[in-house]
Amino acid sequence: QGCKLVGCGSAVPALKISNDDLSKIVETSDEWISVRTGIRNRRVLSGKDSLTALSVEAARKALEMAQVDPDDVDLVLMCTSTPEDLFGSAPQIQKALGCKRNPLAYDITAACSGFVLGLVSAACHIRGGGFKNVLVIGADSLSRYVDWTDRGTCILFGDAAGAVVVQACENEEDGLFGFDLHSDGDGQRHLNASIKENETDHALGTNGSVLDFPPRHSSYSCIQMNGKEVFRFAVRCVPQSIESALVQAGIPSSSIDWLLLHQANQRIIDAVATRLEIPQKRVISNLANYGNTSAASIPLALDEAVRSGKVRAGHTIAAAGFGAGLTWGSAIVRW
């Protein structure tokens, strides 16, 4: 059993924040941000916006392009590190889409690598589990976990959702033909948003007795990042990972039509392309408009590239994600 990508979609919040807007909040400038990162604008959830609703919008567009009815979806994978329910958002998305047969829906947490892991998981479910139509969503709202007084991180992130439909097919058409996945918990110190344990003042039981343990109320810290270390990690590990995936796929890097990396920093994208000897004209980049949207960045950029006619049927794409965990991985896919 093989699988193919048959539809994609994306959605971004309406609120746009430019580098100039940020320079009114922290000591920075459009020049510093655009030269060091390539980012000019980002979209941020505001008011009554929700990441779940954004994900549903992206998923609907992907299903429409794929001409797959929500009733025919038999698995929803929501790749996110910022679910709107601690227990996961995928079942809420399944419900909002109206998937009536109660298909399996669950979340995958792997930060900016989440979507690549989701793609590979979708293929494994199709190949080993008899699933036919898998909806893979990459969505994140890191703006909720950013310290808006920290100019080292608040300039980087934006919110978005992207989705693809992965469908079972005959082997010869196989749409995912090489992958490579890794993680390294030792690198967590370079990039994290760890749990904070706050003692509560609710130390009394309902009958007035004093509890003999300190109850805790947990929340998450804002994103902490050593940018230089993350930069070094990405430039070192991502080319190696893509090379391993290409070996598995049995093709050289010259056969890649498009390099589609997690959109974190233009300098990382350029460095990886140079190491793999992939010319700029075959590199997809849209981070100037959206910043780093974590698990959403790859499906968002893919959707724009497909709808603009850049990526066409039969094109081979090397996609790679990297980020917190640390996690990283690549997938060689055919559109």
Q: Where are the alpha helices (DSSP H) in the chain?
A: 19-22, 30-37, 51-66, 90-97, 114-129, 227-249, 266-275, 287-290, 297-307
Is residue 237 part of the contact set for ligand ACO (CB under 6 A)? no
Choosing from 227, 244, 257, 286, the residue that interacts with ligand ACO (CB under 6 A) is 227
What's the half-sphere exposure (Cβ side, CA atoms, 13 Å) at 288?
8
Out of 231, 270, 271, 275, which residue is the one contacting ligand ACO (CB under 6 A)?
231
Instruction: Determine whether 31 is exposed, middle or buried from the number of CB atoms within 10 Å of its CB (0-12, 13-18, 19+).
Output: exposed
Nearer to ligand ACO among residue 63 and residue 324 (C-beta): 324
8 A C-beta contact, residue 262 and residue 248: no
Distance of alpha carbon 195 from alpha carbon 197, whole angstroms? 7
Site for ligand ACO in 9-38 (CB under 6 A): 28, 32-33, 36-37
> What is the C-alpha to C-alpha distance for residues 139 and 253, in angstroms, rounded to an integer?
29
Instruction: Give the whole-angstrom CA distance, residue 306 versus residue 162.
Output: 13
Interface pick for ligand ACO out of 133, 167, 294, 316 (rule CB under 6 A) = 294
Active-site residue, from 112, 154, 222, 237: 112
Start-to-end CA span in the chain (Å) = 17
Comparing every residue's Cβ against ligand ACO, the nearest one is 323
Question: Which amino acid would we find at residue 48?
Answer: K
Residues near ligand ACO (CB under 6 A), total? 23
Q: Is 124 a catalytic residue?
A: no
By CB under 6 A, name the one of 24, 48, 202, 228 that touches ligand ACO: 228
Q: How far is the CB of 206 from ligand ACO (least distance, A)?
A: 41
Among the listed residues 78, 155, 160, 161, the single contact to ligand ACO using CB under 6 A? 155
Q: Which residue in the list 3, 79, 133, 262 is annotated as catalytic?
A: 262
Q: Which two tokens stand for residue 66?
A: 């794929």
Amino acid code (one letter) for 194:
S
112 scored as a contact of ligand ACO (CB under 6 A) = yes
| Smallest gap from residue 136 Cβ to ligand ACO (A) | 18
Is 198 a catalytic site residue?
A: no
Q: Contact 195/220 with Cβ under 8 angstroms? A: yes
Does 141 help bind ligand ACO (rule: CB under 6 A)? no
For the CB of residue 179, give the shortest distance to ligand ACO in the complex, in Å: 19
**Using rule CB under 6 A, residue 151 touches ligand ACO:** yes
Closest-CA residue to 71 (of 93, 107, 102): 102
Give the separation between CA 314 and CA 259, rounded to whole angstroms: 15
Q: Which of 19, 265, 289, 292 is catalytic?
A: 292
Radius of gyration of the chain (CA): 20
Question: Using the rule CB under 6 A, which residue among 292, 293, 297, 316 binds ligand ACO?
Answer: 292
How is the chain split among helix, strand and coil, in percent rounded to 5?
A: 40, 30, 35
Q: How far is the CB of 267 from ligand ACO (least distance, A)?
A: 7
Q: Min. distance of Cβ 323 from ligand ACO in angstroms?
A: 2
Q: Please, which residue, 31 or 64, has the CB nearer to ligand ACO?
A: 31
Q: How far is the CB of 185 from ligand ACO (least distance, A)?
A: 14
Cβ 258 vs Cβ 191: under 8 Å = no
Report how far residue 214's alpha carbon sits from residue 200's, in angstroms, rounded to the nearest whole number.
8
The one segment of 114-122, 131-139, 246-254, 264-272 that binds ligand ACO by CB under 6 A: 264-272
What are the catalytic residues? 112, 262, 292
Query: Would you tell me which residues interact with ligand ACO (CB under 6 A)?
Result: 28, 32-33, 36-37, 111-112, 151-152, 155, 191, 227-228, 230-231, 234, 264-265, 268, 292, 294, 323-324
